[in-house]
Amino acid sequence: MSGVGYSGALQQAGFIMGPPRIKGTVVWSSAGLRAARLLVESFASLVAQRHDPEVVEYGFLADGPAYRAVFGGYENVYEVAPESALRRGSLLRPDNLVTTVSRLREAGASGPHVVVGGLLRRFDGRTPPLFRDRHIWPAVQLTHRVADNAAVDTLDFYRTVMEQLLAQMGLPAITVRTPALAEYGRVTYLVVSVLPNGRPTVLATLYILADQLRQSLGDDLQIIDVGFTGKVLAACAMLHSDGRGLMLPSLVAPVQVGVTLGPETEQQRLKNWLGVLTEGGVRPQTRAARGSPGARNQAEQRWHALGAPLVIGLDRTRHGEVISATRAPVTRASLPELPGTAAIRADLADHDARLLYAGQSVMDQGIGKDGYVRAACGTCADKLSVFGTVVPERLVTCEICQARTGSLLFVSEEGRFY
């Protein structure tokens, strides 16, 4: 990781603004807004493998009394002052569930509804950007009403969606079913990834809502609630930065291919090539540089600071020269001609695979070796600080008594973690 840390790397890449900051409130800039949009689009298209999601955004204010009727109070929320003349009793939107369930029911629909926007929660502790914010953005919350007998299967489908999405982000993941949030979830899945120090962190929550909550919402159907936030981008930046900055997965890289041009670069040929790439769904961007090695290195470093997975240099020492540079690690190869869409896609896929492999190594060394995941049978599990069970469940040999009736358990000495 670079000396500037993950938030410095995100600033350098044009994702977020630097100081001065309002506590707990990240101000996003253009590349970050674009990456967030790409992330949400990918989530929606993964959901669309099985369902037909509607992506919506709600207003900034939420109905206070309706929220209180379901959640029982106003802990951690911002309320419009009761004495104010306008919008009294409203909340600065802390959640979407109440609004979504009532809208779906009014429309006689079951969803899934995917709400994308900002949520506001009071929080006075430390607020590292995108890890613990007061204004949580982007907050993505999917709600789906389903019949009793479809609930677990549907929840499992969304688990695979989240695991696939995180894999595309270069983030390894395991899902843990835990009884720790029983007041919210009748069944709770936490999708857990890893920080560079090997500690676990929660990147998505999936619930079949607790019966009491469902009854407060006045719903007869089971309600699936799936949520993740911009923390996914922060975790990606933490795990995948080097001295040059972010190493973005191609999924969310606003610039997938940084193209450095020479003074001699033939404009029409360049235009045709960029046209073909763009048509093929690749995101290239160009920048001119002098032919000297120093200028070329500087150009490459600027692309890397933006997080570009692939850099292609044209006409450096001679007309028609094409040099393709990878990231993580940086390697350079001379190509006989301009690479086509298929070749670029293959390079991007390799890049993504390297990120995920690196992430998986961090997880194996941290969560694997530090005893977070253990194989134990029901009896031996009593001796461990079990936080939950790894899903999908499978029978394994108990590492303590060798019984064949063990499960993979997630053990957490510190209890709940974030």
233 Ramachandran zone, left/alpha/beta (phi>0; psi -120 to 50): alpha
> How many chain residues interact with Zn ion (CB under 5 A)?
6
3-class secondary-structure state, position 381:
helix
The distance of closest approach from Cβ of residue 389 to Zn ion in the complex, given in angstroms and rounded to an integer, is 15
- In whole angstroms, what is the distance from residue 9 CA to residue 237 CA? 7
- Please give the backbone phi and psi of residue 255, each rounded to the nearest 5 degrees, phi first: -115, 110
Which residues partner with 286 through β-bridges? 259
The distance of closest approach from Cβ of residue 383 to Zn ion in the complex, given in angstroms and rounded to an integer, is 9
Residue 43 token pair:
């989530």
- In whole angstroms, what is the distance from residue 139 CA to residue 374 CA? 32
- Alpha helix locations (H) across 77-192? 97-106, 151-168
The distance of closest approach from Cβ of residue 178 to Zn ion in the complex, given in angstroms and rounded to an integer, is 21
- Alpha helix locations (H) across 208-266? 211-216, 231-239
Position 400 contacts Zn ion (CB under 5 A): yes
Order of strands, sheet of 310-314, starting from the edge strand that comes earlier in the sequence: 284-288, 257-261, 310-314, 322-325, 332-335
Query: For 351-391, where are the E strands, in sequence order?
Result: 373-376, 386-391
Comparing CB distances to Zn ion, the nearer of 333 and 395 is 395
Site string for Zn ion, 343-382 (x = CB under 5 A): ----------------------------------x--x--
Comparing CB distances to Zn ion, the nearer of 143 and 407 is 407
| Binding piece for Zn ion, criterion CB under 5 A, among 61-69, 172-180, 224-232, 403-411 | 403-411
The distance of closest approach from Cβ of residue 396 to Zn ion in the complex, given in angstroms and rounded to an integer, is 11
Residue 61 token pair:
């204010």
| Binding piece for Zn ion, criterion CB under 5 A, among 217-225, 247-255, 339-347, 399-407 | 399-407
Comparing CB distances to Zn ion, the nearer of 77 and 380 is 380
Which residue of 88, 401, 413, 416 would you call a contact of Zn ion, by CB under 5 A?
401
The distance of closest approach from Cβ of residue 399 to Zn ion in the complex, given in angstroms and rounded to an integer, is 8
Which residue of 246, 247, 398, 409 would you call a contact of Zn ion, by CB under 5 A?
398
Site for Zn ion in 89-128 (CB under 5 A): none
| Binding piece for Zn ion, criterion CB under 5 A, among 133-141, 263-271, 278-286, 396-404 | 396-404
The distance of closest approach from Cβ of residue 374 to Zn ion in the complex, given in angstroms and rounded to an integer, is 10
- In whole angstroms, what is the distance from residue 367 CA to residue 346 CA? 31
The distance of closest approach from Cβ of residue 200 to Zn ion in the complex, given in angstroms and rounded to an integer, is 23
Position 395 contacts Zn ion (CB under 5 A): no
Position 396 contacts Zn ion (CB under 5 A): no
Interior CA angle at 240 toward 235 and 246, to 5°? 100
Comparing CB distances to Zn ion, the nearer of 325 and 380 is 380
| Binding piece for Zn ion, criterion CB under 5 A, among 248-256, 297-305, 315-323, 400-408 | 400-408
Q: Give the largest Cα separation in the chain, rounded.
A: 73
- In whole angstroms, what is the distance from residue 189 CA to residue 157 CA? 12
Location of structure tokens 């890449």: 13
The distance of closest approach from Cβ of residue 380 to Zn ion in the complex, given in angstroms and rounded to an integer, is 3
CB 258 within 8 A of CB 326: no
Residues that bind Zn ion (CB under 5 A): 377, 380, 398, 400-401, 403
